[in-house]
Chain A
Amino acid sequence: MTQYFVRRLLLLIPTVFLVSVFVFSIIRFFPGDVIVVLFRDADLTQADRARERARLGLERPIHEQYAIWVASVLRGDLGRSFFNKQPVLEEMKLRIPVTAELGLLAILFGLVLAIPTGVVSAVRQDTWMDYLMRGFSIGALSVPGFWIATVVIIALTLWFRWIPSLTYVPLVKDPVENLKQFLIPAVILGISMSGTLMRMTRTTLLEVLRQDYIRTAWAKGLRERAILGRHALRNALIPVVTILGVEVARVVSASVVMETIFDLPGVGKYIVDTIVVRDYPAVQGINLFLAVFILVVNLLVDVSHGYLDPRVRFR
């Protein structure tokens, strides 16, 4: 297991390297000059553009720019935004907790909704409860989160004359106000995620419930609760844990919409804003961070298999 973990960690290095090359270069190949966006409406001559590019270090060859950037990243410096001149790391420190909180709450809610409904649906297969749960899960998968969010905002406004706080309130500053802000987008994201998780839970639990050892447990006279809790569920949740790794990545991308609609200053919204204006340091920094984060999460998910499933042998 340790060998496997170390090997996977070492494999992260070339993966991160490839990701860094990709995020560094792709934004530079987009059409549109960042200098023009920076000085929109200014009548820039070629000389002006060249001077501004030099000021930002963009006149160097691309491989040199990459080397300088990597060297500064290794020192913990992600550069400064071309636009507001603030260190990218400082911007991320403000935004990561927002997206992290939103993501965690969404995953928590998604699990709380998905696992019980998946279990009920599997155990009560082919009953009206099963049909209801499955219908709900398909609905959760099909109805776009942004639509639900917009409807919720309108309903709150028109019926209750209330919306969450307009400006971000950190959890440590005022937990109640913070949760008022985060609960609705987190629930919406969670509902969206719960569709996949519920269906996976149901499918795997149905498979497990058909296994011989479960039949033996029934034959021994164990109660349903004991069979489910002690034997079936743990094995059924292994694939769900795998899916969770994928869902974490999806939450980050889905957070863009929720952060925009609910005005949360998170990473998702920041990344879209910076891509649109070609803020190279910010785009590079955020993308690199997210890529590394998702790689690490998936590594942890893979490793966790060893604990959940003793049959798994890491080679």
Chain B
Amino acid sequence: MSRSSVWLRSIGPGVVALAFVLAACAPAAAPAPLAPAQQAAPAAPARPAAAPAAPAAAAPKSGGVLEIAFNDEPANWDDHISPLPSMAPFAYQALLRHNPETSEMEPLLAKSWEWQGPTTLVVRLQQGVKWQNKPPVNGREFTADDVVFSIKRLATDDARFLWRADFQPVKKVEAVDKYTAKFTFEKPFVPFLDKLANYKAWMGAKEVFDQYGDASAVIRAVGTGPYMVTEHRAGVDGKAVKSANFWMKDRPYLDGLHWTIINDEGQRLAALRTGKLHAIYQTWGGVTTASVRALQRTNPDVVAKTLAVTWPTILVMDNTRKPFNDLRVRKAIHLAIDRQEMINVIFDGVGHVVGPVDWALVPQWAISKAELEKMPGWRQPKDQDIAEAKKLLAEAGYPSGLTIEAEASEYYKVLNLRPMEVAKSQLAKIGVTVNINLQDQATYFDWDNTRKAYFRARGFTTYPDPDAMLFTRYYSKGGRNVGNYKDSAVDDLIEKQRSELDSAKRKQMILDIQKRLIDQAPYIFTFVEDSWAVHQPFVKGLVPHPSDVFGRTEQIWLDK
């Protein structure tokens, strides 16, 4: 055998294989560089256009089935219990809802309401509203008795009912007549209307819960909403059809909708590109900024909107344990964190910095953007903040820096792991070494619930009215005060603002709370990701609001 054939035999297959391996390992074709306009950090998030009942450009068309995707199947479709968004806005309705432009309260199942004194709220219901025609409710009329049942259920003193703190201040709820419900409180509870407008505070029919115990299986859903769930395959898909006895005239426009569970973001985008999906909602990382940019290059007609969401990302520290029990250490960390850099790195600039209350969501309650950006911690450039941070650490006894343990999880990593990774690099500038311990989902939530966690980035779900955040997160006895923060002055103000009927005084109290929180730095307030809602150009009337995940579902229509 010749030497050349020996060489060929030896290396030939290897060369061919190497070609495959190199092909496998070669970086993907670099995406086309962003045009300069796209590279600049966007301004404050564009609010969705106001949602008229019928768009001026074309009259809405009836018919068609809306194809949407969730990235995960909710473990429990009963929103009174489950923290995750579900089909609630399609099948169910609450008494009120937020205006997508102003976040102000608007009637829904409640036609009108009035405060009769500081502790009594009377709500008058729409008349002629029917439940969906499905057993065991079978299309009967929605009445004040249903309101009484639903509110009592929401207030159930059981840890499973996530929103009970919002409804337990109701001392008594009663049906005055068929269409009037009266709420009586121990003391004035001003944010209550906001709680009633939470899409998860939907009205449920007693017959369903008597028969099934809960609404955890979506196929059991019977609401007053525009769409009735008819099919469901767990982890796969589900269908809802237009409710024949929906109470809003000439609504909904669609014949129905079909949702699919698609875990993989690439698959969701592929489905949107090929027209198999009509819309991807912003919920829980539905689509990232990088994906939207890529999508817009291949499908320039796709509509992509950003909107502020109700879950700011906050760095949580255990205020009771070293070194975070030292105010100087917390303030040093607060000063060192560069919020805008976090937004630029993680979300390609699509987001905005926040304080304890989000100025973009509720400007009427928050420290203004202009004022916030001048404050230490938020001001740019960071040189002065870094110098002050180092000085504080030295005063606290850490002149050479310190090491802190942190936890993170791949679960919704853009709100969790990624901010912690960026924080790690930023804190290194002041001599703080962060050891990130990666945990799986179950361990992560376990540590959260048992308050074992030291330092982590976390999304805090909230409502437009700041009471939700203040009372649950910053109040010392708040159900989700995961940083174990306790301050009697803040507690006092939080309690008082709940009962303050004068909105100017209430606003001042809320501003004072925010300033004290910034001063004490129990948490590091960072940013809100401006989330994306992406849909085909023929989908009309889709106007999501942060507190109403899917928008006014009865006015969505397909222009094809």
List A residues at the B interface (Cβ < 8 Å).
30-34, 36-45, 48, 52, 83-86, 91, 94, 126, 131-132, 134-136, 138-139, 142-144, 147, 150, 153-154, 156-158, 161-163, 165-168, 260-263, 265, 269-270, 273, 276-278
Contacts and interface: CB of A to CB of B under 8 A. Distances in A.
Top 7 closest pairs, chain A to chain B, by CB: A135-B16, A32-B442, A139-B20, A138-B17, A43-B479, A48-B159, A131-B12
A166 B271 contact: yes
B75 interface: yes
B14 to A, nearest CB: 8
Interface in B362-415: none
B271 A134 contact: no
Given A42-B160, A135-B20, A167-B233, 11 more contacts: A32-B443, A41-B83, A94-B233, A134-B13, A135-B15, A143-B21, A163-B271, A165-B276, A166-B277, A269-B263, A276-B442
B23 A143 contact: yes
Given A126-B9, A135-B20, A163-B271, A84 B262 contact: no
B20 A31 contact: no
Nearest to B480: A43
Nearest to A262: B267
A36 B442 contact: yes
Contacts of A31: 439-440, 442-443, 446
Interface in B449-468: 449-450, 461
Contact of A277 (B9, B24, B442, B461): B442
B39 interface: no
A231 B275 CA distance: 54
B17 A39 contact: no
B234 interface: yes
B9 A39 contact: no
Contact of A278 (B261, B298, B442): B442
A143 B162 CA distance: 47
A94 B16 CA distance: 42
A36 B15 CA distance: 53
B17 A144 contact: no
Interface string B262-283: 1110110111011111000000
A157 B270 contact: yes
A163 B270 CA distance: 7
Contacts of B5: 126
A135 B446 contact: no
B237 interface: yes
B463 to A, nearest CB: 14
A84 B216 contact: yes
Contacts of B81: 39
Contacts of A165: 276
A153 B271 CA distance: 10
A37 B83 CA distance: 11
Contact of A167 (B260, B445, B461): B260
B537 interface: no
B236 A167 contact: yes
A142 B21 contact: yes
Contacts of B161: 42
A30 B439 CA distance: 11
A85 B267 contact: no
Contacts of B21: 139, 142-143
Contacts of A135: 12-17, 19-20
Give the residue among A136, A139, A165, A262 with the most B Cβ atoms within 10 A. Answer: A139
Given A134-B16, A276-B441, A153 B270 contact: yes
Interface residues of B, number: 63
Contacts of A30: 440, 442-443
A275 B445 CA distance: 15
A263 B276 contact: no
Nearest to A136: B16
8 contacts: A33-B442, A36-B445, A37-B441, A42-B479, A83-B75, A157-B269, A262-B267, A278-B442
B76 interface: yes
B536 to A, nearest CB: 13
Contacts of A40: 83, 445
A37 B409 CA distance: 14
Nearest to A278: B442
Contacts of A83: 75-76
B236 A84 contact: no
B441 A43 contact: no
A164 B76 CA distance: 29
Give the residue among B8, B15, B264, B444 with the most A Cβ atoms within 10 A. Answer: B264
Interface in B476-491: 479-480
A158 B29 CA distance: 13
Give the residue among B15, B16, B158 with the most A Cβ atoms within 10 A. Answer: B16
A263 B441 contact: no
Contacts of A269: 235, 263
B290 interface: no
Interface string B203-240: 00000000000001100000000000000011111000
A147 B216 contact: no
B449 A44 contact: yes
A265 B13 contact: no
Contacts of A52: 159-160
B233 A277 contact: no
B274 A163 contact: yes
A38 B76 CA distance: 9
Contacts of A45: 159
A265 B298 CA distance: 29
A32 B270 contact: no
A144 B273 CA distance: 25
B260 A166 contact: yes
A277 B235 CA distance: 14
Contacts of B236: 167-168, 265
Contacts of A157: 269-270, 273-274, 298
Contacts of A261: 264, 266-267
